Chains A and B, each alone.
Chain A
């Protein structure tokens, strides 16, 4: 796996360019066809050899002093790499140690270092280099290296520090400390290896940045002194001969571009393997968006049940290849006003079933068979726009964790009003009034205050009530509740369930309640499906199944409830993120 990802074509291109670059830097004296500083007034401004007037001895032409452009590029690679690598090595070593100390010891040492870093970061990078170089009379490679390192260490220190802050709280560090390991030992033997991959990637990215900065400095005349050859200096020469020697401009620029690109590509490939968050091209996470699986007829059967799920199967591709069946041949029906429970442990397929009904299956998931009919209308393969008209009004869903299911940057009232405005032809003021009514309906004492609050300003119970208000805002015929109270404390759980119970009875909504807790199911539902590994293992009237379970799995679940009675139920993050 890792090998494959490292050997992607982009990374390979990057690696081979870096190899060429290194070869140029190391063997410049042998590779370069000419002495890069030898002037020959008789051959100045020669174009590349393939153009008219070109000379085969000078492959990429010559400059304003008759120096060979190619040779200057090859020697420029040496300057650029030497300066870049040395500067990064110094900056990274210093930065990593400082970041390690600051992040590990915290306290005043951290404050001082980070304030210093803030000040330095308040300074455009290049300006700092510029102001130092403007007062130095000689600019040797060493001067430039020191200046770049001084400007760059902050980046390494900050990244390493923020990683250390996370690492130091981890179990392995705590236990090492408990065992009496010295700070020095923990820092260098335990924590440092953990942050090293990040540090290496940052160093590579910064190497690319510093090579760019070096060329910029040379270009504006603050780079390394002649006779050293730099790509930036070559480009500056080219700029002065802009009108009559484009090759003096084009090739040095290409050299810088390719060198920097190559290092970026390698850094990106490494990041992919070592620390995906640092990847330049960013993560590609699956976005929830269903693709139409197939077109189907939308024939409406006479007096159909509210919901009819018939032989539904859903599969997910596995990373290692092949697929896993998250839901296998699941069938059930639900009549108006009826309450169905689906119970099972995580990974049993209960949430995937609900998500499929809503048409909210993860893109990776594929419906491999069966049908889902809401009032006789097949939902599978229905166009997104038609589904959108049904979602929220025909069927609605309450999610497990209201604290993440509500949008953090919009007020609660806004989020309820949006649902109303999407499905009902009412004015904004009317929607606002209706939202307040809904909040009152879910037993919120101060609806105005809650409507004007952001989700994080109200309690977990309030958040879940707001979710319920959103779900019920358009009086849906079908309500899917996926662990609606699991994220709450026990008292609030019971309260919310009782409220929901009364509300649903009043509105005559059909309900599918998903839970891992048979106790909740027993109290709340008429019928129940017991699911295990994507299959329905037992189904029937809730009362019958709770009193006389036939399947051993159901018996186990029941036993678990009895054991947990009075305790806080085990929280279960549904399998939306990890199907199977």
Chain B
């Protein structure tokens, strides 16, 4: 319990830090958002009007205060383009991203765990070598390329699957595959490595001396130990999934926050950009908090406070 409270406090600190970083990064980067928002050659008056609307005419610290106090109250500003509160807008688009990312994560775990176990069960065997080659290739493939090639093949050539939108279950197939390819490569390697390490431990020898069948050693004795590093890596990959969602949503015209952010960037709708960044950071931090809880559940040393 104390462990969880400490982690929650850390999470809050990180979210505060992210808010600071987004704020200052966007303010300190050379370039005036107001000037970017108006057609070239506009008068200084027009630019100044936009600055006042953005609040960028105020001194930096005052801007920071306005931004932070708004944030605490859940006020992320108003979108120029949609003329709606950013928070509301972001929350409307978020479920689609969550669904896509969630399904991709689940699919990747379901594929990678059995593959990784199979590879580790016989190191140097055919499955193992195949898994390693695929993992290496997957690691080097740009996911947006996988995405467009899938569209080219399945939507345009074969016309089997829809290329855009998220209307039904079928429309999930290509985006999920695109998002999962690299993820599977990373996870399968982690599972394999963690299983190999667990299998080399003394307790595996003890289990064998007890007469535990090999299959049970793999799936019970080794897997529960291997799950600990796996959970950590999954936590880190959540950020990757959220980042990857931007590209995938663009390719498949998926109505999530990634697409929203990219459109906002194109239309210079900065409050929305900032809102999405904040949301993604919060989701990432919360997801990692959940991962920490799962980690504690799996690792009795952490749960019982013996180790951090």
Contact = CB atoms under 8 A, between A and B. Distances in A.
A260 B251 CA distance: 22
B203 interface: yes
B200 A285 contact: yes
B51 interface: no
Contacts of B214: 289, 384
Given A134-B265, A208-B140, A216-B247, A285 B196 contact: yes
Interface in A94-130: 115-116, 118-128, 130
B148 interface: yes
A470 B203 CA distance: 12
Interface residues of A, number: 88
Nearest to B301: A456
Interface string A441-465: 0000000000000101100000000
Contacts of B21: 119-120, 123, 128
Nearest to A136: B31
Contacts of B142: 212, 215-216, 219, 235, 253, 256-257, 260
Interface in A341-369: 358, 360
Interface string B200-211: 111111111111
Nearest to A576: B205
Contacts of B225: 407-409
Contacts of B240: 124-125
Contacts of A253: 142, 145, 148-149
B25 A388 contact: no
B247 A391 contact: no
Contact of A219 (B239, B247, B273, B284): B247
Contact of A124 (B124, B149, B199, B284): B284
Nearest to B143: A216
A419 interface: yes
Nearest to B300: A454
B242 A282 contact: no
B136 A135 contact: no
A132 B243 contact: no
Contacts of A178: none
A332 to B, nearest CB: 20
Interface string B103-114: 000000000000
B244 to A, nearest CB: 8
Given A135-B31, A250-B149, A119 B18 contact: yes
A283 B137 CA distance: 18
Given A261-B136, A261-B137, A391-B210, A123 B205 contact: no
A57 B117 CA distance: 51
A458 to B, nearest CB: 12
Contacts of B284: 122-124
Contacts of B243: 124-127
A320 interface: no
Contact of B203 (A391, A407, A423): A407
Interface in A60-97: none
A570 interface: no
A71 to B, nearest CB: 20
Interface in B265-290: 265-266, 270, 273-274, 277, 280-281, 284-285, 288
B142 to A, nearest CB: 5
A132 B151 CA distance: 30
Interface in A180-223: 208, 212, 215-216, 219-222
Given A136-B30, A235-B144, A256-B145, A284 B196 contact: yes
Interface string A535-571: 0000000000000000000000000000000000000
A471 B250 CA distance: 60
Main secondary structure, interface of B, reads helix
Sort chain B's interface into a size bin.
Answer: 35 or more
B154 to A, nearest CB: 12
A399 B206 contact: yes
Contacts of B228: 409
Given A124-B284, A130-B265, A390 B140 contact: no
A549 B21 CA distance: 77
B152 interface: yes
A126 B242 CA distance: 9
Interface in B203-242: 203-214, 221, 224-225, 228, 239-240, 242
Contacts of A220: 246-247, 250, 262
A392 B206 CA distance: 10
A97 to B, nearest CB: 21
A235 B4 CA distance: 45
Interface of B: 13-15, 17-18, 21-22, 25-26, 29-31, 33, 35-36, 120, 123-124, 132, 135-137, 139-142, 144-145, 148-149, 151-152, 156, 189, 192-193, 196-197, 199-214, 221, 224-225, 228, 239-240, 242-243, 246-247, 250-251, 261-262, 265-266, 270, 273-274, 277, 280-281, 284-285, 288, 298-301, 304, 306
Given A250-B149, A360-B208, 19 more contacts: A119-B14, A122-B284, A126-B246, A127-B246, A134-B273, A212-B142, A216-B144, A219-B247, A243-B156, A249-B149, A253-B142, A257-B137, A286-B200, A287-B199, A391-B209, A399-B202, A407-B203, A407-B206, A409-B224
